Amino acid sequence: MDNAAATRKPWKKNLYENAEYEDNYTDPSFLKDMQTNVNLTIYTPKQAFTGATRLSQQISVVTAFLVVFHHLYTERIGAKAIFVQSAVGTILGYFIYAGREIQLTKFIEDSKTAFAVLVFGFIFSPLLHTLTNSISTDTIFSMTFFVLVLHLIFFDYGISAPFVSKAISLNAAIFGSICLASRLSSSLHAFVLLELAAVFFALGPFLVTKLYSVQLLALSIAVCCYFLHSISHIILYTYICTLAFVNLFCPWLFVRLQKYKNNINGPWDEAIVTEESAS
């Protein structure tokens, strides 16, 4: 047996040349090409904190939308007043986003699109308002909570990740808005809430991405805290604790656990074909 092992061909990393070796044989040279943490990026606490603020910004956007819903639900503010304010804010946001690159023809086309969306939304708002009448309010609020969490999970925060999906995120937010709209007092209130949902979740991300800064986040948090203080102290404390968890604890834990990261690359990985550009 020892003589056979001594006379057999040296092991090679080719399956068809290793007929004399057992199927589970591992040669000592097999691991010589193993590499650990190739192209590993180490994030600083500042980078981790800055990344976490993106999530906090979107949490504040969702919170602001729910605050507006609460004012419509309790009828503290009229639906027409909110509609006018949101329309003015949308127009101002459009000009801020376009900046000096604004063109008259594009503005007219976008205005036609917005007008068509408003008309169809107003026509279908009575149907959407009564769509979930048979479902209890507690079920509606619970379902809305879960779909808005789904919106936050799949939202595009500017990173490349497999679970990022703008379509799922937007559809989840719109579905939650339709659920909430069915609890309002009239179809006009439902129409205004759905129009706000389009502004907050469909158009708003473009402007927030362009103007994003820590100062904008601080302003959003301050506005949300101001209105939540008048609604419920428990919700206010929950909001603050959530932001503290996202902005302080999560970045600290992420930076602390980086030292335990251990990615192994070796000959068992799939081959990557590198295309050479024609000279």
10 within domain boundaries: no
Residue 125 lies in a domain: yes
**pLDDT score, position 209:** 87
Judge if 92 and 183 occupy the same domain: yes
Model-wide pTM > 0.75: yes
Domain count, the chain: 2
Q: Is the domain of 77 the same as that of 189?
A: yes
Domain that holds residue 107: 62-212
Is residue 85 in a domain?
yes
Give yes or no: residues 156 and 246 share one domain.
no
Would 75 be classed as within a structural domain? yes
Domain check: are 108 and 236 in the same one?
no
Residues 127 and 206 in one domain: yes
* Interatomic CA distance for residues 261 and 21, integer angstroms: 35
Distance CA 12, CA 244 (A): 56
Is there a domain that residue 5 lies in? no
One domain, residues 94 and 180: yes
Average pLDDT of the chain, as a whole number: 84
Q: Is residue 204 part of a domain?
A: yes
Question: pLDDT value at position 1?
Answer: 47
Alpha carbon distance 259, 42 (integer Å):
9
Q: Which helix (H) or strand (E) holds 138?
A: helix 137-154
Q: Is 261 inside any structural domain?
A: no
- Based on the fold, state whether residues 71 and 102 are members of the same structural domain: yes
User: Phi-psi bin for 39: left (phi > 0), alpha (psi -120 to 50), beta?
Assistant: left
Domain-located, residue 194: yes
Pair (110, 225) in one structural domain? no
Rounded to 5°, the CA angle 141-146-152 comes to 125
The pLDDT tens digits of the residues spanning 72-99 come to: 999 888 889 999 999 998 889 888 888 7
pLDDT in tens, 11-67: 666 666 666 766 667 666 666 767 776 777 788 888 888 889 999 999 999 999 999
Same domain membership, residue 197 and residue 220 = no
| Cβ atoms of residues 77 and 86 within 8 Å | no
